Amino acid sequence: MNREELKEKYGKKRIPHEWRKTDWFTILVVTFFGSGMSPKAPGTMGSLAAAIAAYPLAILAKSEPFGQTDFLFPSHSFHWGIFINLFFITAALIVFFAAIPFVKKAMKDTGTEDPGWIVIDEVCGIFMALAFIPSEFIVAHPWILAVAFGLFRFFDILKPLGIHKMEKLPGAWGVMADDLLGGIYAGLVLVIGLVAPAVFLM
């Protein structure tokens, strides 16, 4: 192993500087307020920042004027179904579509393709993972954020079940879509993990 390879493998990792080629507001958005600037595991740091931000958002979702933002699909009258958290699913979709032009601009300005410091896609995925959990449960049991974080990172890193194919969508759409799908899978696994023991014990 030569000197350059040793330096690459064991040297101190530094924050890439290509982001300087675009404007500060775009960077603020795509790095989720700088969380993606971590020289190590920026995707993990972005996901962690999103999970932390989700707690006060869950508190906000319980307050007026949001009030009732959870409902049981397909109907309240049934004793089974999947909870849909309208607040978080709306937040995930807003982040998804609002981030597209910023991600596109960041990649064009810096001449990169899905660089590690773009982590707004991880934010979208974390919010989508929480879109299947009632806000009251998140507030009462904040540990659920850690579980959602872990499940999302699993799907985001390994990209099973068609997630990898979403990356092949053109440009910014591919950057965002795989994390959105990963968040859906993480949320469904989270729901099954919470509901299955309760059903078994009934």
- Of 182 and 79, the one with more pLDDT: 182
pLDDT digits (tens, 9 = 90+) for 84-106: 888 999 999 999 999 999 999 99
Give percent of the chain above pLDDT 70. Answer: 78
- The structural domains of the chain, with segments of one domain joined by +, span 3-58+83-192
22, 105 contact by CB (below 8 A): yes
- Averaged over 58-84, what is the pLDDT? 62
The pair of structure tokens assigned to 37 is 């600037």
User: Strands, E, within 20-179: which ranges?
Assistant: 70-73, 82-85
User: Is residue 2 pLDDT above 60, yes or no?
Assistant: no
pTM of the model: 0.84
User: Is residue 49 pLDDT above 90, yes or no?
Assistant: yes
123, 32 contact by CB (below 8 A): yes
Query: Using 50, 70 and 90 to split pLDDT, how confident is the model at 47?
Result: very high
Q: How far is 168 from 181, CA to CA, in rounded Å? A: 13
pLDDT digits (tens, 9 = 90+) for 136-158: 889 999 999 999 999 999 999 99
Q: What is the mean pLDDT of the chain?
A: 83
Q: How far is 174 from 178, CA to CA, in rounded Å? A: 6
